Amino acid sequence: MNLSEREKKQILESIRDIPDFPKPGIIFKDITTLLNNPKAFKILMDHLEEHYKDAGIDYIAGAESRGFIFGAPLADRLGAGFVPIRKPGKLPFTTIAEKYSLEYGFDEVEIHIDAFSGKPNPKVLFIDDLIATGGTANASINLIKKAGAASVDACFIINLAFLKGIERLSADTTVYSVLDI
């Protein structure tokens, strides 16, 4: 199921732009207005369910924290497990970590070491709200592999195409974005 131009427009118009956040020159894509718009959110979730329903996904891994918002309900709709990818020190069991570069330093994400132990050769969909440069997504895909799973796709609601983050991921997994900006 492809989204119609009208549906894409409805989703896009439900996302608020916040200029100069978190710093001057940045236009922040605020998805809270999408989340509180039940019609737009339903269009989005119905589309994602239809897009992935035959992909044989065992788990959805969502990046902290907005990936949780889309990943958990999609996992429920697909009958898959949900796995959180979090900042350091937030998960209670033994974790594995992946560091990645930022324009101003480094950051890190973690996953439980046994996150995908429920199924042999698990297929994982990684999801997040937005891809910019791809640092968090790339680190998350690496974590999924380190935890013994295969990343079958990476999904983003918004792709900031001018930052070329999807190009960075394309060598490691297929990538799908709902909206390219």
Find out whether 140 and 119 touch, Cβ atoms under 8 Å: no
Q: Which amino acid, residue 41?
A: F
Question: Which long-range contacts does 88-96 make (Cβ < 8 Å, 24+ apart)?
Answer: 90/64, 96/143, 96/146, 96/147
Q: Tokens 């309900």 map to which residue?
A: 73
Instruction: Catalytic residue, from 66, 86, 108, 110: name it.
Output: 66
Q: Exposed, middle or buried, 163 (CB in 10 Å: 0-12/13-18/19+)?
A: middle
CA distance 92 to 27: 35
- What's the Cα-to-Cα distance from 52 to each of 84, 89, 177, rounded to whole Å? 19, 31, 13
Of the candidates 122, 139, 41, 45, the residue with the CA atom closest to the CA atom of residue 86: 139
Instruction: Catalytic residue, from 50, 77, 86, 103: name it.
Output: 103
Q: Does the annotation count 168 as an active-site position?
A: no
CA distance 31 to 181: 14
Q: Does the annotation count 167 as an active-site position?
A: no
Q: Which residues are catalytic?
A: 66, 103
